[in-house]
Amino acid sequence: MWAMAQFKFRLETSLGLAENALEEAQRRLAEEVLRWQTLMLRRERQERRWLEGLNGQRRAQPEELGRWQVFARQEYRKLQTCETELQEQEKRKEEQRRRVVESYRRKEKFRRLKGRQSRAWALAEQRREQKVLDEAGQIIYLSRRVRGGL
């Protein structure tokens, strides 16, 4: 029975570690999604500022046009920076999502392994018990036969 406890402990430990890794991966994914959402909002605000600059150019008097063009160009560069950051964050978010899937698969693998090996262990124990019972029955049968024959 000690072997079963040791066996069960090893699997439960591995399963527990896999569950902890999954929780950590999910936490990190949540952080990456939050960063992505923040960058998305920042990009949207920046796009509105750039569009303001374009609209200002359309409405500007000739003497103001140069300032609006500079403003629109600066805001467009900032928008491009935001879009680059957003794309990079999208990649980090997807990489973390992949890690969550891997962690989940690993946890499920240990859970299924624990179930299969527990069933295999129980079957082996049943067979050992049956063997002991068969041997006991055979001893009783032979002892009765010997007593009956004497």
Structure confidence at residue 4 as a pLDDT band (50, 70, 90): low
Domain boundaries, the chain: 2-149
CB 82 within 8 A of CB 46: yes
Percent of the chain with pLDDT over 70: 92
CB 103 within 8 A of CB 21: yes
Structure confidence at residue 149 as a pLDDT band (50, 70, 90): low
Angle between helices 65-149 and 2-59 (to 10 degrees): 170
Burial of 53 (0-12, 13-18, 19+ CB in 10 A): buried
Sequence-ordered list of residues with C-beta below 8 angstroms from that of 52, at least 6 positions apart, any chain: 75
Residue 125: per-residue pLDDT: 86
Q: What is the CATH number of domain 2-149?
A: 1.10.287.1700
Between 29 and 146, the more confident residue is 29
Give me 109's structure tokens. 């693998």
Residue 99 is which amino acid? R
Task: Write down the pTM of the prediction.
Answer: 0.70
Structure confidence at residue 122 as a pLDDT band (50, 70, 90): confident
Give me 5's structure tokens. 């406890």
Give me 47's structure tokens. 């796009």
Tens of pLDDT, residues 13-65: 889 999 999 999 999 999 999 999 999 999 999 999 999 999 999 999 999 99
Q: How far apart are CA 120 and CA 39, in angstroms?
A: 52
